[in-house]
Amino acid sequence: MEPTEPVRVRFAPSPTGMLHLGGLRTALFNYLLARKYGGSFILRIEDTDQKRLVAGATESIIRTLEWAGLRLDEGPGTSGPSGSYLQSQRGDLYRAHATELLEKGAAYRCFCDSKRLESLRAEATLHGRAPMYDRRCAHLSQQQINEKLRTGEPYTVRLLAPNAADPAASDVSGFDDIVHGEMRFRGPAGFDDAVLLKSDGLPTYHLANVVDDHLMGITHVLRGEEWLMSTPKHRALFKAFGWPMPRYAHLPLLMNPDGSKLSKRNRDGPMQSYIDEGYLPSALVNYVALLGWHPGGQQEV
């Protein structure tokens, strides 16, 4: 790949724990792409899930990236053009964009309570179907919506995803992934009416990351392949807003010897354990750079 525009990439961890080996690898690949093409490496902290935040995790992530020599061009504590790089401080932006989607008819208010949603999930599971919302609230009249708003009934905002028969669905479900090549998602998979704004006014990952990727001018999204199935939803959001889409590269995950996913809760996962044991930054960066591919020849430090 030879980008024809300035490369802007972001590493966007959630501070629900300390940085682990897989996170460093994702950050490193983003950093190297930015450096190769003279672009910008941005750190964005996705801290909207306030219930799962770990005290000191954000500061630890920043220290670890500095230890590894991954210099930030923009991020918390810098005077970058995007304002705050903490999503918890960007709530007004997300709510404004959710309102824009409502006004465009690309999203709708959902007043269904958790009991009804759980019933829908249970019924789908019983019949071997993927759980999907049945769009009951998408068919409410404006009068019904106004009455529910008047009485203060809580609601979420859902994406009105393109129907599988809609040509727009094919447009967002098919894309060229830099790592995996041409991707095509069949049928309605990935086109559930995803919740964008929760009843407490906080955004979900889907809305916040798309809005921020656009506003921060992200050109390439390099992230773990667990997000591959969510990409059609994100592309549908870009299309609903009328924004250009970034290119995607979904990186294979690091695994434990038993085949389970390496995570921040694994003994060999946390970066701090390697730092405490005295590993040199150059050695560890070299090691993670070669996990999952190898250019040939002796490359280890």
Q: Which residues are catalytic?
A: 264
Torsion of CA 90, 96, 101, 107, to 10 degrees: 70
Contact 76, 43 (CB under 8 A): yes
Coil, strand or helix: which one is 184? strand
Q: From residue 100, how far is each of 157, 229, 240 by CA, in Å?
A: 11, 25, 10
Q: Which residues pair with 9 in a beta bridge?
A: 41
Burial class (CB in 10 A: 0-12, 13-18, 19+), 210: buried
Contact between 263 and 20 (Cβ < 8 Å) = yes
Supply the DSSP symbol for 111: -
Q: Are 101 and 107 in contact (CB under 8 A)?
A: yes
Residue matched to tokens 């504590």: 77
Q: Considering Cα of 158, then 162, then 168, then 169, what sign does the dihedral take? A: positive
Nearest to 21 by CA among 258, 299, 285, 297: 285
